[in-house]
Amino acid sequence: MLPRSKDQLTPTQVAVIVCSYLLGSGTLSLPRVVTSEVGTPDGWLSVLIAGFLFMWLGYIMAKLGAYFPGKTIYEFGEEIVGKWLGLLISIFIIVYFLSELAFETRMLVEITKTYLLENTPREVTLALFLFIVVYIVVGGIHPIARLFGIFLPITIIVLVFILLLGLKLFDINQLRPFMGQGIIPVIKGILPSTRVYLGIEGILIISAFTQNGKPFKKAVLAGIALPMLLYVMVMIIVMGSLSVEGVSIRIFPTIDFIRSYEIEGLLFERFETLLLTIWILQIFTVIVSVFYVLVTGLACIFHKREHAFIYGILPVIYILSLIPRNMNEVSLWGDWNNQYFLMLCGISFILLLIQKIREKR
């Protein structure tokens, strides 16, 4: 294992990491994924409700981590439920991370292929991208935190800017009626909305690098609240511009929305390149995060240094991410990952309960 350096992450850095970990591939397809389930324009409400749900779950994970300062879930899992069950949980988490990592990488390649580099083979984009990821992961959590700190403000500013530029397409009538079919469609939308909050499980590992106090919990909540606001904003603006049915027929409604307007006399006329740029930055941060927590897990289980795993895992990711044949299979994979993710949230909830009972004894 790499020695965990003494200077720990500041609360701001924790918030930045959590936020970057959450903002990812979901942003582009979110309006469709939610609306095709909801069927009314109220999808943004589902996203908001899901956001509060996950702030609560994030708080639980932070609390769980707070019981074991300096330890990740791979280590304190064993302490709570015993060696074998703990190992099982660790393996479960590692498999999940591996699948998630390969999925996110494939998403990135898929978008790059469709919108940016049409004639470049997938394999090339994939390989080059993985090399950069490895470069940053080898450095450890601190360089990662600093890099994310540079990317995040750029992302937020650009995203809000290009969303607001598209307001001329916005028609409030597309969002009306508010809850016309009652609350049931909104509840139906909560499950598909959960996928954009995928990433909060990272808290279980980051907690090892912080002083577990109130500031940590606050940082976690802030790290979830910020993406939540951005998601709700994306939902409202994209839905108000493309209508319920229009959103449901597009694979990536957010990109299509940005591609639906041109602004004359503002240096650029077209803005989807900006969106794709920040989106690639964000998916990069996601992949780096997942890669890092995955490798940490492997190192913990086998009690070895991380470096061997960082390089060893590369071909596995490469092969895994090239398995799906088309976009539909990739989407299906995303659904699986989402179910894994929800199970993981359930597990951490149970772990906290057990820990509380243990504490009382």
Partner 1 sequence: MIIIRASCVVLIAKGQAKDIFEIKVDNEIPVNHLLDVANNQDKDRGTLSEVTLQKMLDHFASEESFLVQSVMLDGKKVKFEEAAIIDGKKKKLIGFLNDKELEGLSWFFAKEKGGTVVSRDPKTNQMVVFSVKKLEREIQPKMQGKRISFDVKLKVIGQIEEDRRYPKQNFELSSIQQAEKAVAAEIKKKMMTSLSTLQSKYKTDVIQFGTAMRIQYPRQWQQLKQRWEEEFSQASVNYDIKVDIRNYGTIGGRKQKSDS
The smaller minimum CB distance to partner 1, of residues 173 and 357, is found at 173
Measured CA to CA, the distance from residue 294 to residue 345 in angstroms comes to 17
- Please enumerate, as own/partner, the contacts of 175-179 that have beta carbons within 8 Å and a separation of 24 or more: 175/41, 175/236, 175/239, 175/240, 176/41, 177/41, 178/41, 178/42, 179/40, 179/42, 179/45
Q: Which of 83, 270, 305, 307 binds partner 1 (CB under 8 A)?
A: 270
Interaction between residue 120 and partner 1 (CB under 8 A): no
Cβ-based neighbours of 181, under 8 Å, separated by 6 or more: 39, 40
Q: Does 248 bind partner 1 (CB under 8 A)?
A: yes
Q: Using the rule CB under 8 A, give the single segment among 11-19, 174-182, 217-225, 340-348 that binds partner 1.
A: 174-182
Interaction residues for partner 1, span 28-67 (CB under 8 A): 40
- Residue 335 interacts with partner 1 (CB under 8 A)? no
Q: How far is the CB of 261 from partner 1 (least distance, A)?
A: 6
User: Of 79, 348, 69, which is closest to residue 210 (Cα–Cα)?
Assistant: 69
Q: What minimum distance in Å lies between the beta carbon of 169 and partner 1?
A: 8
The separation between CA 217 and the C-alpha centre of its own chain, rounded to angstroms, equals 19
- Number of residues in contact with partner 1 under rule CB under 8 A: 23
Q: What is the DSSP string of 222-278?
A: HHHHHHHHHHHHHHHHHHHHH-HHHHHT-SSHHHHHHTT---TTSS-S--HHHHHHH
Of the candidates 12, 99, 260, 331, which one interacts with partner 1 according to CB under 8 A? 260
Q: How far is the CB of 202 from partner 1 (least distance, A)?
A: 34
By CB under 8 A, tell whether 189 contacts partner 1: no
Residues within the interface to partner 1 (CB under 8 A):
40, 114-115, 118, 169, 173, 176-177, 180-181, 242-246, 248-249, 256, 259-262, 270
